[in-house]
Amino acid sequence: MTKFWTATGPAGAVPIQGKEQRMSGFKDAPPDDRSELSPEQESAIRIVANNLHRLNDAVVKAVEAGVTVELMRTARYHNEAGNWGDQLTPVVRPGK
């Protein structure tokens, strides 16, 4: 299985000017030459990974702005070949 992202830093925390700023800390990992995925599958997974990175960054920004964000599976997409993928919806609660 190919890894497409890695985390850096302890829990994604980066010290800035005496404060600790939470960041997702995800970056692209080098391609895994042992992958059994086709180039089309690799491309599709990279798109998911890149969008997940952006989603994680958006969640961090929302939490830092004072809201709670929970991602819940609201659907599961199935194709005719037996593959499936979860689809998510955010549940947002105002901060205290």
The alpha carbon of 61 is separated from its chain's Cα centroid by a whole number of angstroms, namely 14
DSSP state of 11: G
Q: CA 96, 87, 26, 18: dihedral to nearest 10 degrees?
A: 0
The pLDDT value recorded for residue 40 is 95
Query: Residue 48: its pLDDT value, please?
Result: 96
Query: Nearest Cα to 88, choosing from 48, 29, 47?
Result: 48
Q: Which residue type does 67 have?
A: V
Convert the pLDDT of each residue in 31-81 to its tens digit.
666 778 999 999 999 999 999 999 999 999 999 999 999 999 999 999 999
Residue 82 banded pLDDT, cuts 50, 70, 90: very high
Mean pLDDT of 27-31: 65
End-to-end Cα distance, the chain: 41
Of the two residues 34 and 88, the one the predictor is more confident about is: 88
Residue ranges per structural domain of the chain: 1-65, 70-96
